[in-house]
């Protein structure tokens, strides 16, 4: 089976708010699709991927927020369906973020240092967890995608315009 194609900005699907997954959609097919999303994420050397990034306008995301020096057993794997942030801390953190849908563009976004998030697994099990630091940043970034917000939307107009012009040139050369 071929890898899912990761869409790049300014693709219109990336600007749309994703719809909730319906009860009838939970199960093995959704789980398999989310494993294919993980494969695409790993192939692109990413740490998170949301449904809209692969042309799926449902509120689903996968993530494995790993730091370069982290051991494998210190890394959490998330397959979130209909994730919802239920609480955000007032203290903020930020690190330079990249995005698989906005290649060669890095930008620091202020994010809540700690969040509580609830979601369901692809098979329908209810989950909740408090996330902090890098895990918190990655999940907030992916939930932005579910809300139709890309890293470009968080950047200043000049930075956004520059990247879009460079992307047009790259596409012409292909």
Q: Give the residue numbers annotated as catalytic, written as ranges.
A: 142
Contact 114, 132 (CB under 8 A): yes
Comparing CA positions, the residue from 72, 83, 56, 73 lying closest to residue 138 is 83
**Distance from C-alpha of 90 to C-alpha of 166, rounded to nearest angstrom:** 36
Contact 99, 138 (CB under 8 A): no
Comparing CA positions, the residue from 55, 59, 26 lying closest to residue 40 is 55
Beta-sheet strands, E only, within 72-110: 78-88, 92-93, 96-99, 102-108
């Amino acid at each position: 089976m071929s890898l899912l194609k990761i869409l790049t900005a300014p693709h219109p699907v990336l600007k749309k708010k994703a719809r909730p997954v319906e009860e009838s959609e939970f199960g093995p097919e959704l789980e398999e699709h989310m494993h294919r999303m993980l494969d695409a994420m790993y192939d692109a050397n990413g740490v998170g991927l949301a449904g809209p990034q692969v042309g799926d306008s449902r509120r689903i995301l996968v993530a494995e927020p790993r730091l370069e020096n982290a051991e494998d057993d210190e890394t959490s794997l998330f397959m979130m369906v209909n994730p919802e942030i239920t609480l955000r801390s007032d203290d903020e953190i930020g690190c330079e973020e990249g995005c698989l849908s906005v290649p060669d563009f890095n930008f620091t976004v202020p994010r809540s240092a700690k969040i509580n998030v609830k979601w369901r697994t692809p098979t329908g099990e209810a989950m909740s967890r408090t996330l902090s630091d890098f895990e918190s940043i990655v999940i907030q970034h992916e939930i932005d995608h579910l809300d139709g917000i890309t890293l470009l939307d968080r950047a200043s107009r000049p930075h956004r315009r520059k990247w879009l012009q460079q992307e047009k040139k790259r596409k012409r050369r292909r």
